[in-house]
Structure 1
Amino acid sequence: MARIKVRQHVNPLSIIYQQPLIPPDWSVIYPNLALPIHLDIGSAAGSFLLKLAQHERTWNYLGIEIRQALVIQANQIRDRAEIDNLHYVFGNINTSLATLLASLPAGKLQRISIQYPDPCFKQRHAKRRVVQPELVNDIARYLPSGGEVFLQSDLEWVAQEMCDRFSENPAFRRTQAEWLEPNPLGIPTERETATLKRGLPVHRAMWVRE
């Protein structure tokens, strides 16, 4: 399938993205609801989760993405690959994250990843950045003790700002002070692969829910 052309950046505060997400019936989506769940926030075209789901069958994988065309295409690719532990939903985490997390099978959310979020470079657009205190609070509410949050970006200031938001919440503990090397998940995103090929650093951190 040819890749579709999709806008690289959207404004999550726009009125067109304020419709709350209606979660699906997870018992229909995943054949085995007993498996732990990895949620990827901002799953883009979905290739990272696709590789993870193929590599590790003892997890269920879920991606949320604000660009609907990418979600449709990612689920089509999943269906052709006949992968049953993977699903993508269209939604804006600014309005839908708490609803999505509350709908998941109790205690099964075990890992969240946020990778290469839109930096929204202009300071007046800072409120559009993904990792806000409200998002961290929602994650703290629904991620059980021992659950992990994996953050990474090729922009150090973006990675540091995300870490700052999690460090402000006493529910989370960083696993180590230095940036992680190598990637502890073992599967790189397309952006990560391209960055490393250019010889540039990737800044990663893992946080644990206390």
Structure 2
Amino acid sequence: MALRVRQHVNPLSQKYQTPVHALDWEKVYVNLTQPLHLDIGCGKGKFLLEMAINQQNWNFLGLEIREPLVQEANYLRDKLAIPNLHYLFCNANNSLAPLLSNLPANTLQRVTIQFPDPWFKHRHAKRRVVQPELVEELAKHLASGGIVFLQSDIEAVAEEMCDRFSAHPAFHRQGTQWLAENPLPIHTEREKSTLSQGKPVYRAMFVKDEE
């Protein structure tokens, strides 16, 4: 039976203001020495599931604010017995600090933020996931040379995400134009749907500078 889940969840509502606790990473992944790929706003988690199968020498962590989607994703992960994949219900805007606080240094090497909720109305702009505080936390914990891959089918949203990362001294953008191709081996369902309709996808890659 298909899950009925709200498409839009307000991250500023009281329900989502309690940050998660730090994880016991050795209980989460069988091999903690592998690099970690963090997907913020993983939705149903199908992109990460395919990535985890495709790149078994990486660990994958998906963060999602809609709890039923996380429960279903972890159920499928367990059913398929995928040891390098974990999904977590949380609000990324207040949970990155405690979540990454005890992560072994240089473990986080790749971050993806793909097709986040655009929150079109001006008064709702603070609900967007890529805020300066989130960029700051990623700058603290992403390994030197690590990458942040951003994409959206809304140009204004993609531009705002890029502006936030460009404004932080720890990151530099690869190139000045939108990426013509997705550098990752797996594409999200939203990306496939957008491209199948002949619509553009706005992509950018940022690299964490050497410290």
Establish whether TM, by shorter chain, passes 0.5: yes
Q: Return the letter of the residue paired with 2:140.
A: R
**Per-residue deviation, 1:67:** 0.6
1:63-74 correspondence to structure 2 within 5 Å:
63-74=62-73
Query: 1:9 maps to which residue?
Result: 8
Displacement of 1:95 in angstroms is: 1.4
Task: Verify the 8 A CA contact 2:105 2:143 in the aligned structure 1.
Answer: no
CA distance in 1, matches of 2:150, 2:59: 19
Aligned to 2:58: 59
What's the CA shift string for 1:16-39, capped at 9, x where partnerless? 001110233111111101100000
- Residue 114 in structure 1 maps to residue 113 in structure 2: yes
Percent identical pairs in the alignment equals 59
Deviation, structure 1 residue 112: 0.5
Listed as ranges, the gaps of 5+ residues in structure 2 are: none
Report the equivalent of 1:139.
138
Measured in 1, the distance between the counterparts of 2:22 and 2:196 equals 38
Q: Please say if residues 130 and 161 of structure 2, whose CA atoms lie closer than 8 Å, have aligned partners that are also in contact.
A: yes
User: Structure 1 length normalisation: TM-score?
Assistant: 0.97
How far apart are the structure 2 equivalents of 1:115 and 1:51? 15
What is the SS of the residue equivalent to 1:103? coil
Match of 1:110, SS state, is: strand
Give the superposed CA RMSD. Answer: 0.9
Q: What is the distance in 1 between the residues matched to 2:185 and 2:151?
A: 13
CA distance in 1, matches of 2:160, 2:82: 35
Deviation >6 Å, runs of 4+:
none
Q: Which residue of 2 aligns with 1:181?
A: 180
Q: 2: CA distance between counterparts of 1:21 and 1:166?
A: 24
Per-residue CA deviation, residues 70-111 of structure 1 (Å, 9 max, x unaligned), is: 100000011111100000011001211111121322210001
CA distance in 2, matches of 1:171, 1:193: 31
The aligned counterpart of 1:32 is 31
Tell me by how many angstroms 1:131 deviates: 0.6
Q: Secondary structure at the match of 2:101?
A: helix
Amino acid of the residue matched to residue 13 of structure 1? L
Shift of 1:115: 0.5
Equivalent-residue separation in structure 2 for 1:105 and 1:31 (angstroms): 14
Which whole-Å CA distance do the structure 2 matches of 1:22 and 1:141 have between them? 18
| Partner amino acid, structure 1, of 2:13 | S
Q: Deviations over 1:130-183 (max 9, x none)?
A: 111111111111112101000000111111110000111111010111111210
Q: How many residues align?
A: 209
